[in-house]
Each structure stands twice: as C-alpha cells, then as structure tokens.
Chains A and B, each alone.
Chain A
Amino acid sequence: MTRRLSFAQWLAVSWLLLVVVSACIAPTSSPVPDLLHTQEPPFQDPHWLGTDPLGHDVLQLLLAGARTTLLISIPTAVLASLLGGAAGSVAGFWGNSTYQVQRASAAAGVIGAVIALLFIPQLRTNPFPVGLVIGVLSCTVYYALRRTSWGQRQIAVPIDSMVQALIALLDSIPLLLLVLAIAAVQRPSSMGLVVLLVLTCWTTPARLLRAVTLRTKALLFVEAAVVAGLPTLRILRYHIWPNTWPVLLIRLPLSIAIIIGLETTLSFLGIGLAPEVASWGRLLASIRVAPAAWWLLVWPGAAIFFTILSLHTLVSTKITGFDKHLDVTK
C-alpha cells in the first residue's frame, strides 16, 4: 500500500502540515486589538498581513482560525466516519432477516425500554436504584418467557430498514439548512457543534460502507467463513472489515473538507461558534463592514481554498490504489 506521492501531493501534504503547525503555535489567549491601527493594509511592519476593522492582527486571527478549524473538522470527520461506518457495516452485513433474536429477549428488551421511558424523571434523579429495578424486571421477563415455546422462537430484527429509515430522515432536508436550524436555536458550544455535525454528517459514510459491505458479503471467502461456523463478530472483524475500512480512509480527507466548508459557512453567517472564537469564516464576514479591505478576503479565502484543495488532491490521487469502480466522492 506504500505509494510514492506525486508533486501535487507533496504540495498538499506540506500545506496541511503548515496548517497543523500554525494551529499549534497559535496564541491561546484572545489577541489584544491594536486600536491605533484599525483596518491597516498589509505588508507594514507590526502587522504583516494587515488588521481588521476592530484592530485585530489578521495573521494572529488566521493562526487561531486554523486551530479552530482543525479542532472542529478532524474530530467531527473521524467520529462521523466511525459512526456511519459502524451503522453501514451492520446494516449491510445483517440486512433485514439475518440478525435474529429470541422472542423472549426481544420482549424483555422492549418491556425494559418502555418502562425506562415511562420513568425517565425518576431515572434522572436517582439512576442507580431505578435502573437496577428495571434491569431485574426485564431479566425476570426473559427467564419467564425463555421456557415457553412462544419465547423460544426467533424473530428477525430489520436492522437494515432501521438504518435506512434514519438516513432517509436526515436526508430529507439539506444538510446546511438542518445544521443552521438546530444550531440557531441551541446555540451550541464548540463541543456541541462537533456533536451536532457528527449526528447529521454520518449518513454518507453509512451509505458508502453499506454498499461496500453488501458487495464484500457476497464474496466466497465470507460464505466459507459463515459455513465454517465462525462467530458473526469475528467474521465482521477479520473478514469484512479489512476489505471495507480503506473506503472510509479514502473518504476521510473529503469528509474533513466538507466539514471545513460547512463550519466556515456557519461562522460566516454568524451562527454556530461563539463570537469570541476566532474562525476563518468569521474573519471573512468582517469584510462586509469594510468592503475596500481586500486583504480580509484574500488571506482567509486563500487559507480555506488551499486547505480544501489539498484535501481534495489527497482523495483524488489515492483512489487509484483501491477499488476503481467505487466512487467515494458521491
């Protein structure tokens, strides 16, 4: 799998390294505005990239923005890929009829869940005793039903349909609108924004991995493993997963790029991150106050452009190494 990087890829990697380094050296405290030099053009001694209308140094804002971008986009992309990958693999592998449980345990689970839902307030105030009571109750139900012939029959859990329904639910509204609507009302912190983005962005990796898993499942060695009687989790771990996870890996730079685009758009619109958090999108938004200040557009714009372009370059060249028929960019 070791491949030599092309020139464009070297450029991309070095730009991304530069972004990472600048995120590391960025000042942690919010910079003090230089009120004597507001909206200063670039290439002058103290502020080499100019200042914004409030007197903040653009270079410092760029560095701090790089850190915000990385801290939001990388965890989000990784977590969304993992969540979507897990959901997609499970949906693709088990389908609608393969995963079966005893009616007894299904009934016990349903009863336990219903009781837990009914007693949410009590569960919140003192989780341990109430949870214990509910657990004991559903265990009793399970052991009572296990002996009966009704309880011993198997029923299939339609995992595939459930995952597909969730995906359809999230996909019925464009991602930007969904995130905007929820972020506007919830006013999330940086952490909350990551959670929100993960919960809304996992659908594409899930669809991708479901397709790949379906294809891998039909191959002979998986059938052989099933016939040999290997446990399901072991088949997933050692037979399916090694063939499907590269897809997630290839897609990761693209996911990061999409999330960077989304995050900067949110900050540009003034919704999402708190006002004191520096962000490339917020820096760009300040140009609406000062339309003559071209440096407020050029520097953060170039930063966003080169970062996303580098990530795209990594995707489009790496794809040749793996399954050529698979289009991860969809």
Chain B
Amino acid sequence: MGRYLLFRLGRTVLAAWGILSIIFLLTRWAATDIGLQTLQDAPTLGRGLSVGEQTRIAQQVRQRYGLDLPVFYLSVLTSDTDTPAWHPHWHWNGTRNQYHRWLRGVVQGDLGNSYREGTPVTKLLLQALRYTLPLTVSATFLATISTVLLASWVNYYNRWRGLVLAILHGIQALPLFLVALGLLLLLANPDALNWFPAFGLGDDTEQYSSWSEELLQYLRHLVLPVFSLLLVALPGFVVQLDGAMQQELREPYVATARAKGAPPVQVVRKHVLHNALLPVLPLFTELLPSMVTGSVVVEMVYALPGMGRLFVEAAAQQDLPVLLGVVLLVAIARLASQLLADALYQWADPRIRLHI
C-alpha cells in the first residue's frame, strides 16, 4: 500500500512537472514580446519619454523579471554566418536561464512576481484562495451529500425515478456558464427577482451589528455561485450512482434483507448504498478539482475575486507567473484528490489490495 502510494505520487508529480514545463516553455516562447508589452503598460512607467529612455526602461524591467535570460538550457543560434554549416546551431546556456530559475523557485515555494502588480504570486494565490476555498469546498460537500440523498431517494420512490432522471438529463445539457448566467439574471436582477446580491462577497467597509449578521450576509452572497456549481455537478453523479444502485438492487443479498423483514428504506440506505458507492468513489474524488475548474467560470460571472478570476485575468493579460501559479495549484489539488481516492478505496473495501 505504502509502496503503491509512493509509486502513484511519483508518477503524478512527474506528469504534473511535465505538463507545467510544457506550458511554461510554450507560453514563454510565444509571449516574450506580448508579456513585455504588459510590463511597459504598467503604471510605474510614465508616458512622454523619449524612445531611448523607453528602451532603457524596458531593458531594466526585463532584467528585473529575468526576461533577458534565455528561456531554456539550449537555444538556437541565430547568427549562422560565423558557424560552419555542419556545426549544430545550438548553444548551451548553463543554468542561467528562465526555466531553471522558475523550477528552482517552484521547488523552494517561490512562484515569482506578477507582471501586472509586482506582488509575489504566492500572496495573490493565498488572497484568492480565501474566496475560492469556501466556494469550492462547500459546493463539493453539498454535491456529495445531495447526490447520495437524491440517488437513494429515487431508488426508494421508484415512480419519481423517470421524472428526476429526465430533469437531470436536461440539466446535463447546460454548460456551467449558462446555468450561472441564468441564475444570475433570474434571481439577482432588479428587473426580475432581486433575491440575492449579484456580485462580490459582501462589502468590507459596511459595518454589521453582529457577527451572525455578517455571516448571514456572506452566505447570501455565496448561495448562487455554490448552487450553480452544484446544479452542474449533480446530474452526472446521480446518474452514475443510480446506475450502480440499480445493479446492486438485483443482487441476492437485497432479497435476503427484504425476506428477513428489513424495511425498504433501510435496505437502500444500509445495504445497497454502501456497495453502490464503491464503483463511483473515484468520481467523487474528481469532484474537488472539477469544482475548482468550474470556479473559473462562476467567479467570472459573479465577479468574485477568487482564483478563477485571477486565472482568466492573468490569461487575458498574459501575466505568465500568475497563470502558471494557478495551474500548479490546480495540479496539486488534483494530485491530492487522486491520492485520496486510493486511500478511500482501501478504507471502503479492505479486500482491495493496490499494487504496482
């Protein structure tokens, strides 16, 4: 078990390192000029400078962010007049390159500074997590509970099953951004129903008389984002769990339980559910990463200053350190949930022995 987890950990870390490196190199090679454009537009650089001064300042900014270094260990020589044609046109840059610095920083927990704001990326990420973490964790929690409840319910009250599954089938055809937009315009719109606040997570400047009121306000802001995440995640999970339960209901042990006089609700809850959960367990551990992905869309729609918004803004303005930081964080979340899935498997069914 320990060996298996270690193997799994190593493999996933390797995969995450690979994909992050690919994204790093792709973005750096493609965006050296555009990224610099963002730097030059930064408010620290005044307008009305001469061309010479501008290039000098651009050079300084490049140096500060380490953009004057070559991107990778190897680079292609551009001046091919002084090298013979049979000579490989590669130049070895040693460890003085952007990739090496970035990797060393990541290992030491330093993700560099944002191009746009100049603040460390880790600080920005921590700030954003204050909003994203409650959103995604509560959505995950609620989705898990409501999936289990709904699936057990439709398996007990069989005549609602067709209707509920049909509705879920319909919801499944709605992309997340459509659900979020629809809820926003229906329930948080002065022209329609103005039940919930449309954006943000409460005003910090506003003074509340008590902490309970503040909490209530906070929860009111969180309702619609969490609900849209929940609504989109629910159909797939309920359908899967329902399928597993339908299969379990045909097993002989269900007949035994019924024959010895257990009430149908107890049969579903105590006997069937436990066995049906096992095949869908990996799905549940994928829930948190998919919620984080969903928060990209939800935070854009509801204007929450969370990680997803940070990601999209960084993407739009080519703020590469922030972009990579968010991707790294999501990769870590996924890694953790995969390991959790393995541990949960062992816990749920001790017969399973995982080995390489």
Contact = CB atoms under 8 A, between A and B. Distances in A.
A327 to B, nearest CB: 8
Interface stretch (A45-53, A87-95, A98-106, A266-274): A266-274
A268 B312 CA distance: 11
B169 A312 contact: yes
Contacts of B127: none
Interface string B7-37: 0000110011011001100110011001000
A116 to B, nearest CB: 11
A269 B181 CA distance: 12
Contacts of B312: 180, 269, 271
B191 interface: yes
A201 to B, nearest CB: 15
B315 A268 contact: no
B334 A172 contact: yes
Interface stretch (B149-157, B255-263, B289-297, B348-356): B289-297
Interface stretch (A28-36, A63-71, A145-153, A284-292): A284-292
Nearest to B334: A172
A170 B18 CA distance: 9
B26 A185 contact: yes
A181 B191 contact: no
B88 interface: yes
B230 interface: no
Contact of B296 (A121, A168, A176): A176
Interface string A294-306: 1001000100111
B185 interface: yes
Contacts of B26: 182, 185-186
Nearest to A258: B175
B102 interface: no
B77 to A, nearest CB: 7
Contact of B315 (A119, A180, A281): A180
A218 interface: no
B283 to A, nearest CB: 9
Contacts of A316: 169
B255 to A, nearest CB: 23
B170 A309 contact: yes
B177 A264 contact: yes
Given A168-B11, A172-B15, A118 B88 contact: yes
Interface stretch (B61-69, B111-119, B140-148, B316-324): B316-324
Given A121-B77, A180-B296, A261-B175, A291 B19 contact: no
A174 B334 contact: yes
Interface residues of A, number: 47
A169 to B, nearest CB: 5
Most buried by B among A120, A184, A269, A297: A184
B231 to A, nearest CB: 14
Given A169-B19, A177-B311, A305-B174, A121 B330 contact: no
B55 interface: no
A111 interface: no
A265 interface: yes
Contacts of A294: 185, 192
A173 interface: yes
A292 B76 CA distance: 55
A178 interface: yes
Given A174-B290, A185-B30, A291 B191 contact: yes
Contact of A269 (B88, B89, B300): B300
Contact of A173 (B85, B316, B318, B327): B327
Contact of B76 (A120, A170, A287): A120
Contacts of A97: none
Given A174-B330, A269-B312, A301-B178, A119 B292 contact: no
Nearest to B180: A268
B312 to A, nearest CB: 6
Interface in B66-93: 76-77, 80, 85, 88-90
A308 interface: yes
B128 to A, nearest CB: 14
Nearest to B294: A176
A291 B323 CA distance: 30
A106 to B, nearest CB: 23
Interface string B224-242: 0000000000000000000
Contacts of B89: 119-122
A185 B191 contact: no
Contact of A176 (B169, B174, B293, B331): B293
B182 interface: yes
Contacts of A304: 174-175, 178
Given A168-B11, A178-B19, A185-B27, A268 B173 contact: no
B172 interface: yes
Nearest to B301: A288
A131 B173 CA distance: 50
A312 B27 CA distance: 35
Given A177-B296, A265-B297, A185 B318 contact: yes
Contacts of B326: 177
Nearest to A309: B173
Most buried by A among B11, B16, B169, B177: B177
B176 A265 contact: yes
A165 B15 CA distance: 8
B293 A177 contact: yes
Given A174-B293, A176-B293, A182-B23, A122 B15 contact: no
B20 to A, nearest CB: 8
B275 interface: no
A188 to B, nearest CB: 10
A86 to B, nearest CB: 22
B84 to A, nearest CB: 11
10 contacts: A121-B80, A169-B15, A169-B22, A177-B311, A180-B315, A264-B177, A297-B181, A301-B182, A305-B178, A309-B170
